[in-house]
Amino acid sequence: MKRMIKRALSKSIGRMFWSVLFVFALTPGLSQAAAPQRRPQRVRSQKPKVPPKPKVDYTKFSHTTHIVTQKLVCSSCHKVPSKNYKEFRKGDAAFPDVTDFPEHSSCLSCHKEQFFARERPAPSICSNCHIAVTPKDTARWLFPSLGDVPDPKLKRREFVSEFGVGFPHDKHIDVVGLNSTSPSPFGRGLGEGLSTRKPSPPSPLATEEERDGASFANALFQEKKPAPPKSCPVCHETYQPQGNSSEEYVTKPPKGIGDAFWLKKGTFKTIPNSHTICFTCHSADSGIAPEPKNCEMCHKFVPPMQLKVDFDPRLATPMGADKFMLARWGRRISAGAFRHEAGEHPDLSCLNCHKVDSAAFSTIDPKTVKVPVRSCGGPEGCHITATVDDGGALNFEIDSRKKDPNFACTKCHLTFGKEAMPENHPQAIPKPKPKKTT
């Protein structure tokens, strides 16, 4: 009896909680949804209910369902700028960005049932955007486009993106320059470097004379056409969380490591983690397409790909790889042991190894992003020489593999080196010049 009363009581308390919550939170959304809408999908919610539905997991929002099956456009849910865009980047650093999840109104036309489901502690659909929904705590996660916000007040959620970012490098090499006074383009420094951009820079499509304006001096562009490698650090910097520490490794290697592989700092390059750089040029009033609201122009819906990577998570953890390193390492499809900071690598043009100036290079198609093995030869035959005696690492490893089929190639690889050798490796070795016959 006691239990029954308790249950009834907790039920009605629960109901009270939700009705109070919904009066506050959902009514504006509801009234919007109830108002006559141009949205064609309203019709869908009026279809007759079929009682025995297969169980749907409403904690896991999928774009496939909504973009592919329901054919919804990005802007039917994602609004830019978000109401709260000034809360995350302060003062000059704030720019009209998408900084929040879609609002209730973009879901309610189809999901009234799920929003009002009697589920504890909250309807499961809420968790796609909210951390918890209790009367005291209605906080949402940090919207993931705020990757560059340091020490965010809101928690970041772990997730696997359903999208790839399509950035046409070839179309940007001439238009993105490096502001010489710009500090680190990674992390906090980025906002500082770019906060000098107001008023917005003239179109890079402007004529030479138009470009000579005073505001231009402070802009991202340079008057002189920048040498390609100079434009790259605007978006990619060597990742060095340890700063200038003299330590060679990310964490101390075991004693007697010798030449065996252990993660060294300066291995990885960063990639942009927000809209900060893109939206300096691609803004609603710059006239440079795509505008921020055209999410689909940059975010390409790509089905998850099974990449063959030169990476072993069991090695990475004891070596002290942080989240960022793991993310980059887990995508290494050419050479898992390659270090950007090592030897002469920093003196070489990025274009020696990355053919981003070619229209064929596509950031959403991994096979085009591969670094050709031939580039390890460098301009002076660094790791690839005509003969083994000239000291080429590739020559040495190919030779060792010929002698011992179990030989593991470790100079450039972590896991690939144990596999069969691809044909392009021996082909990369320059043919000895035909001897002159007299």
Interactions with ligand HEC, residue window 20-49 (CB under 6 A): 21, 24-25, 41, 44
Q: How far is CA 89 from CA 149, 150, 214, 408, in A?
A: 7, 9, 26, 49
d(CA 221, CA 179): 7
| Tokens representing residue 287 in the block | 């006239």
| Tokens representing residue 193 in the block | 């470097």
The reply to whether 62 sits near ligand HEC by the rule CB under 6 A is yes
The pattern of x and - marking residues 418 through 437 that bind ligand HEC according to CB under 6 A reads -x-xx-xx------------
Restricted to residues 133-162, the positions that interact with ligand HEC (CB under 6 A) are 133, 138, 140, 144-145, 147, 159, 161-162
CA dihedral sign, ordered 112, 113, 116, 121: negative
The reply to whether 398 sits near ligand HEC by the rule CB under 6 A is yes
| Tokens representing residue 178 in the block | 């490096």
- 351, 173 Cβ separation under 8 angstroms: no
The reply to whether 326 sits near ligand HEC by the rule CB under 6 A is no
Q: Among residues 348, 365, 368, 388, which is the contact residue for ligand HEC, using CB under 6 A? A: 348
State the nearest-atom distance from the C-beta of 255 to ligand HEC, in Å.
Answer: 27
d(CA 181, CA 400): 49
The reply to whether 331 sits near ligand HEC by the rule CB under 6 A is yes
d(CA 299, CA 75): 13
**Stretch of 2-10, 126-134, 187-195, 209-217 contacting ligand HEC, by CB under 6 A:** 126-134
d(CA 301, CA 162): 6
CA proximity to 96, closest of 322, 278, 351, 342: 278
The reply to whether 197 sits near ligand HEC by the rule CB under 6 A is no
Q: Among residues 353, 362, 414, 429, which is the contact residue for ligand HEC, using CB under 6 A? A: 353
Burial of 347 (0-12, 13-18, 19+ CB in 10 A): exposed
Instruction: Please identify, using beta-carbon distances, which residue of 6 and 70 lies nearer to ligand HEC.
Output: 70
State the nearest-atom distance from the C-beta of 338 to ligand HEC, in Å.
Answer: 4
| Tokens representing residue 225 in the block | 């056409």
**Stretch of 6-14, 98-106, 258-266, 313-321 contacting ligand HEC, by CB under 6 A:** 98-106
State the nearest-atom distance from the C-beta of 417 to ligand HEC, in Å.
Answer: 5
**Stretch of 4-12, 51-59, 210-218, 254-262 contacting ligand HEC, by CB under 6 A:** 51-59
- 430, 384 Cβ separation under 8 angstroms: yes
| Tokens representing residue 139 in the block | 């906080």
First to last CA, the chain: 112
The reply to whether 87 sits near ligand HEC by the rule CB under 6 A is no
The reply to whether 316 sits near ligand HEC by the rule CB under 6 A is no
Q: Among residues 102, 191, 193, 226, which is the contact residue for ligand HEC, using CB under 6 A? A: 102
**Stretch of 17-25, 191-199, 206-214, 250-258 contacting ligand HEC, by CB under 6 A:** 17-25
- 265, 242 Cβ separation under 8 angstroms: yes
Compute how many residues bind ligand HEC; rule: CB under 6 A. Answer: 136
Instruction: Please identify, using beta-carbon distances, which residue of 6 and 308 lies nearer to ligand HEC.
Output: 308
- 123, 114 Cβ separation under 8 angstroms: yes
Q: Among residues 89, 197, 265, 383, which is the contact residue for ligand HEC, using CB under 6 A? A: 383
The reply to whether 78 sits near ligand HEC by the rule CB under 6 A is yes
| Tokens representing residue 174 in the block | 């001439």
Instruction: Please identify, using beta-carbon distances, which residue of 6 and 44 lies nearer to ligand HEC.
Output: 44
Restricted to residues 213-272, the positions that interact with ligand HEC (CB under 6 A) are 220-221, 228-229, 231-232, 234-236, 268-269, 271-272
Q: How far is CA 349 from the centre of its chain?
A: 24
